[in-house]
Amino acid sequence: MREAPSRVVLVGFMGAGKTTVGRILARRLGYVFEDMDRRIEAGTGRSIAAIFREDGEDAFRALELGTAQGLADRTRCVIAAGGGAFTRPATRDALREGATTVWLRCDLEVALSRIALDGSRPLAGNRDIMRALLAEREASYSMADATVDATGPADEVADRVLALLRGRVGAHRR
Ligand code: S3P
C-alpha cells in the first residue's frame, strides 16, 4: 500500500471531529498526534477559556500562530488545528507548509450535536452565532488541499481521510 503524506493537518469547524478523528488517524498511520489547543493549554498552563477571558481573542490567535509555526517541521505527525486557526492567513500558511491539509466538513446541526455549549469553547455561542461563524469561515476552510465529509462515526471519517491520503501521495506541497 502507498504511504501517506508525512504531515497531515485537520481543519474545520468546532465539532467537526478534528481531535477524535485525528487521534484515530495518527494511530492507524503510526504517526504522532498533536492537538493545537492542548499544546497551547500545556504551554501556558491555562485553559483556552481563561486565555480568551483574561487576554482576549487576539492574544489567543498569536499563541495559535506560534503553535502552528512550532509544528511546521514535524514529520509523521497528524495535527488537529483549532476551529479558527485556518481562518487566519499567517497561521494558515504555517499549517499548509509542507503538509497535506484536510477540511473535515460537516453541517451546522452535526457540529452542534457534538459540542457542549458550556463555555469551554468561548466562540461557541447560540445557534445563530454558530451559523454565522460557520458561513463566514467556509471560504477559508475550502483552501485546504482536500475536503472530507465529517458526518457519521469518527472511525468512518478516519477511513475516508486515510483513503484520500493514500491516493494523494506525492501531491502535497513541499
Ligand atoms: C475556536 C475553536 C476551538 C479553540 C478556540 C477557538 C474557534 O477549537 O481553538 O475555542 O475559533 O473556532 P476546536 O475547533 O477544537 O473546538
Kindly report the pTM of this predicted structure: 0.94
Which residue's alpha carbon is at the smallest distance from atom 11 of ligand 1?
84
State the DSSP code for 145.
S
Is the CB–ligand 1 distance for residue 8 below 6 Å?
no
Is the CB–ligand 1 distance for residue 37 below 6 Å?
yes
Is the CB–ligand 1 distance for residue 62 below 6 Å?
no
> What pairs with residue 147 in β-bridges?
103
State the DSSP code for 114.
H
What pLDDT, on a 0 to 100 scale, did the predictor assign at position 168? 73
22: left (phi over 0), alpha (psi -120 to 50) or beta: alpha
Percent above pLDDT 90 for the chain:
86
pLDDT digits (tens, 9 = 90+) for 42-77: 999 999 999 999 999 999 999 999 999 999 999 999
What pLDDT, on a 0 to 100 scale, did the predictor assign at position 167? 85
Instruction: Take residue 68 and report the three cell numbers written for it.
Output: 502552528
| 20-38 average pLDDT score | 97
pLDDT digits (tens, 9 = 90+) for 80-96: 999 999 999 999 999 99
- Residue among 101, 73, 100, 71 nearest 172 (CA): 100
Say how far apart CA 174 and CA 158 lie, in whole Å.
24
Is the CB–ligand 1 distance for residue 14 below 6 Å?
yes
Residue labelled with grid coordinates 501517506: 4
